[in-house]
Amino acid sequence: MRLVFATVVLVGIAVPAAASADVLVNAIVPGSVACGQVVRPGIWYQSFSGGPRWAQMRITDATGAVVWHKNATATTSWHYWQFRGKCGARYVLTYRTAGGTTRFRFSVRAR
């Protein structure tokens, strides 16, 4: 089983330093994955930022229906989950943290 390569996106840059919430999220890159591959939503907390550590994650399908969700508290170690979508389907991964909302659109290629 191959895992999708990902990059890290910092959420919370626009929030003032005193209230910053530097929860980093695992981005979905590229915009499509092979049928059978997993997508790895993940979060990490920068301990020196001192802000809130909560994160809400959800994946919706093309109709807007929630097909996966998780509420979590970020820690100073990366924590990942796995989602395996249906072949040929399109999804949106949404991260919501104190620093804002970030969305990643992705599709699962047909066989």
Residue 58 lies in a domain: yes
> What is the tally of structural domains in the chain?
1
Q: How many CB atoms lie within 10 A of CB 42?
A: 20
The two structure tokens encoding residue 103: 């969305």
Residue 90 host element (H or E) = strand 90-97
Residue 92 lies in a domain: yes
Per the listing, tokens 């620093």 go with 99
The two structure tokens encoding residue 1: 């089983």
Q: What is the pTM assigned to this prediction? A: 0.80
The predicted structure's pLDDT at residue 7: 43
Residue 76 lies in a domain: yes
Residue 35: which CATH number? 2.60.40.1930
User: What are residue 68's DSSP bridge partners?
Assistant: 59
Measured CA to CA, the distance from residue 33 to residue 5 in angstroms comes to 10
Measured CA to CA, the distance from residue 10 to residue 33 in angstroms comes to 23
11-60 confidence digits (pLDDT tens): 443 333 344 558 999 998 878 899 999 999 999 998 887 889 999 999 99
Domain enclosing residue 88, as ranges = 8-108
Measured CA to CA, the distance from residue 89 to residue 94 in angstroms comes to 16
Residue 2 lies in a domain: no
The predicted structure's pLDDT at residue 36: 95
Per the listing, tokens 């229906």 go with 65
Residue 1 lies in a domain: no
